[in-house]
Amino acid sequence: MKAKKIVALLLTAAMTLSLVACGGSNTATSETAAETEADTDSDDETEADADTAEADADTEDEEDLLADIIPEETVTLDVFDQLANYSGEQIGWFGQIMLEKFNVKLNIIPDPDGVYETRMESGNLGDIVIWGNDSDEYLQAVEKDMLYDWNEDDLLDEYGSYIKENMPFALEKNTNLSGGVTYGYGFDVAVDANDTQDAMYTWDLRWDLYKELGYPEIKTLDDMVNVLAQMKEICPTDDNGKTTYGVSLFNDWDGDMVMFVKSTASAYYGYDEFGFGLYDPETQTYHPCLEENGPYLTALKFYNTLYQKGLLDPDSQTQKYDGMMEDYQNGTAFLNIFNFLGSALYNTEAHAADGKAMYPVPPTEARPIIYGQNVYGGNRIWSIGAKTEYPELCMAILNWLSTPEGRMTLEYGPKDVCWYYGEDGKTYFTDLGRAAKLDGKTEMTDGYSGTFEDGNFKMNNTTWALDTKNTDSNGETYNYRKWASFTEEPGSDIEADWRDVTGCKTPDERLKQSDYIVAPGTTYSGGVKSDELQVVWNQVATCIKDNSWKAIYASSDDEFDSIVADMIAQANEYGYDQCVEFQENEAKLRAAAEDAVK
């Protein structure tokens, strides 16, 4: 690092001398405008050369630092990841990049029931640790010294310099949250807070079938059920001859509630998941999930209605993420409220060539939630385990993932193989990159093995927000759906039809035609529950999830009502009211944090 400072000082001195020389020349009264322009150009060139030289010096310093810590023999790093849908070694193209760049293999360890407790008892969480949220379990790990202090031995300064320089507010949030010590930072960091993220709850619907039906009006959830029923009539089987359904679900991501149920409430009412319930950021009101005729129970009834009409894949409760993913890839289901589980899986070039696609068709009465950009980052934390033997290596990996190149790579594949920057500074896909992003089963080339899907980034977390500015590009974001090169012309006839009907170029434009609700980014983090409350909380969560799935599969309205009544009674016996009281107080804290950024 000393060499870097010396180079910077020498460059500063050289610049000062050149500017003094130019200044002396400018005292001549006979100087012409042309001479002034020439001097200005000279100054600019000198500054540009200095910037380039300093950047080159920085790169050389970073390479020297990496050379000191990259192991001679391949090392396997354990990644304990509460967000992972995958277990085992990171394979494919991303695994190869980790080998080439850091000589490491990544062993992904997900967090099914009991794994967190077991690893805490062992005293070793892993080398890299990724948290599903920044409250109870994360704070327990902080309290028990299970995480590595990023300022110890100048770890952040030396090996996380990009993070330190470019994500100061996210680091500050973590430091304050963690009692004055920096252990990491949250996901989806934004460069600035003056915009919103791309809409996530897009109500992706089979547009080709919708077109065939004559673009019927969809105002409410009931209207959506009717349209899905009509779609099943005209398309009874999928690509492989399997029976089709309106929706296909899975339970891998259920938390305190059934994920698809609470997310449908977010997509329809604009309320954010918040403990046992949902929070309206517009009115700063908390809606407990068992509220009569409330958002959660209304969304629950929506899925039961689909089941009663034969429009819900009966495997939804038992299949896992991979089973659901195959359903949407094959056109087994027609609707998904999430863009990354709907159009992202179905809209392949092969389907487009057949005139098929999924595009947003939100009910007109829906007020989907859209999240504000957050310079403080979200609640899914990147951290390093206290017992790692390779803290510098772990930090260097996180630092690279936090650079524009690292963020682009984890999203789209290797640079210059899948994507590149044009002479105009804009972002472009290669032919391989476009095909791979639109169809994960695309075979990789250029020395990378397997399909794009095989090598997908298995950590399932992000550094920079997808819709924040990519500072390496010419004013574009990391979101390919908004790149000029991708949106300039429709990619297919079916996309052209969607554009003509909606008047939009991107799904985000379509969602922002809705009366959406914005949840602003803040420094709010969930409070810590007492040990006694945590026991109650876990019992209530199990009660709500188990009975919600039972209610989804109710064969009649009467049976549905009976199951819901039993769920409410059981939850109350477990202490549901204590959980609601805790969360109502959290709502006040969240409201205060929102008011602070207005």
Note the pLDDT tens digit of each residue in 356-367: 999 999 999 999
When comparing pLDDT for 3 and 92, which is higher? 92
pLDDT at residue 42 tops 80: no
pLDDT at residue 15 tops 50: no
Confidence (pLDDT) at 505: 92
DSSP string, 67-127: HHHS-SS-EEEEEEETT-S--EE--HHHHHHHHHHHSEEEEEE---TTHHHHHHHHT---S
Neighbours of 588 (CB within 10 A): 11
Do residues 553 and 317 make contact, with C-beta atoms less than 8 angstroms apart? yes
In what helix (H) or strand (E) does residue 508 lie, and over which residues does it extend?
helix 507-511
- Classify domain 201-372+494-596 at the CATH topology level: D-Maltodextrin-Binding Protein; domain 2 (3.40.190)
| Residue 135 confidence class, pLDDT cut points 50, 70, 90 | confident
| Residue 22 confidence class, pLDDT cut points 50, 70, 90 | very low
Do residues 366 and 203 make contact, with C-beta atoms less than 8 angstroms apart? yes
| pLDDT tens-digit series, residues 428-473 | 999 999 999 999 999 999 999 999 999 999 999 999 999 999 999 9
E strand spans, 468-584: 517-519
pLDDT at residue 13 tops 50: no
pLDDT at residue 33 tops 50: no
Neighbours of 54 (CB within 10 A): 16
pLDDT at residue 35 tops 80: no
Distance CA 435, CA 418 (A): 9
Residue whose token pair is 């599969």: 553
Q: State percent of the chain over pLDDT 90.
A: 82
- Strand-pairing partners, residue 296, are none
Confidence (pLDDT) at 193: 81
Confidence (pLDDT) at 526: 86
Average pLDDT over residues 250-271: 96
When comparing pLDDT for 194 and 171, which is higher? 171
Helix-helix angle 295-308:221-234, to 10 degrees: 20
232-262 core/surface letters (b: 16 or more CB in 10 A; e: else): beebeebeeeeebbbbbbbbeebebbbbbbb
Q: Is 32 helix (H, G, I), strand (E, B) or coil?
A: coil
Distance CA 422, CA 474 (A): 10
CATH 3.40.190.10 is the classification of domain 75-186+381-460: yes
Confidence (pLDDT) at 1: 37
Q: Is 239 helix (H, G, I), strand (E, B) or coil?
A: coil
Average pLDDT over residues 290-300: 97
In what helix (H) or strand (E) does residue 358 lie, and over which residues does it extend?
strand 358-360
| Residue 322 confidence class, pLDDT cut points 50, 70, 90 | very high
Distances (CA, A) of 432 to 96, 428, 435: 17, 11, 5
pLDDT at residue 54 tops 70: no
In what helix (H) or strand (E) does residue 383 lie, and over which residues does it extend?
strand 381-384
pLDDT at residue 58 tops 60: no
| pLDDT tens-digit series, residues 567-589 | 999 999 999 999 999 999 999 99
Distance CA 400, CA 406 (A): 5
Alpha helices in 129-272 (DSSP H): 136-143, 155-159, 161-166, 168-177, 207-212, 221-234, 259-269
Confidence (pLDDT) at 390: 97
Mean pLDDT score across all residues of the chain: 90
Residue whose token pair is 């006979």: 30
Average pLDDT over residues 317-333: 96
Confidence (pLDDT) at 60: 62
Pairing of strands 285-288, 277-280: antiparallel
What are the structural domain ranges in the chain? 2-69, 75-186+381-460, 201-372+494-596
Confidence (pLDDT) at 66: 82
First-residue to last-residue Cα distance in the chain: 40
Distance CA 338, CA 346 (A): 12
pLDDT at residue 412 tops 50: yes
| Residue 26 confidence class, pLDDT cut points 50, 70, 90 | very low
Confidence (pLDDT) at 279: 97
- Domain 75-186+381-460 identical in fold to domain 201-372+494-596: yes
pLDDT at residue 57 tops 60: no
Distance CA 54, CA 59 (A): 9
Distance CA 69, CA 153 (A): 14
∠ Cα 461 533 378 (to 5°): 20
Q: Which tokens is 541 given?
A: 């969560």
Distance CA 573, CA 577 (A): 9
Distances (CA, A) of 373 to 190, 194, 271, 291, 394: 6, 7, 17, 30, 27
| Residue 194 confidence class, pLDDT cut points 50, 70, 90 | confident
For the ranges 27-41, 46-60, 269-283, which has the lowest average pLDDT?
Answer: 27-41
Residue whose token pair is 């993420």: 321
| Residue 195 confidence class, pLDDT cut points 50, 70, 90 | confident
pLDDT at residue 44 tops 50: no
Average pLDDT over residues 100-105: 97
Confidence (pLDDT) at 527: 87
| Residue 598 confidence class, pLDDT cut points 50, 70, 90 | confident
If we measure between CA atoms, which residue out of 512, 478, 508 comes closest to residue 188? 478
Confidence (pLDDT) at 596: 85
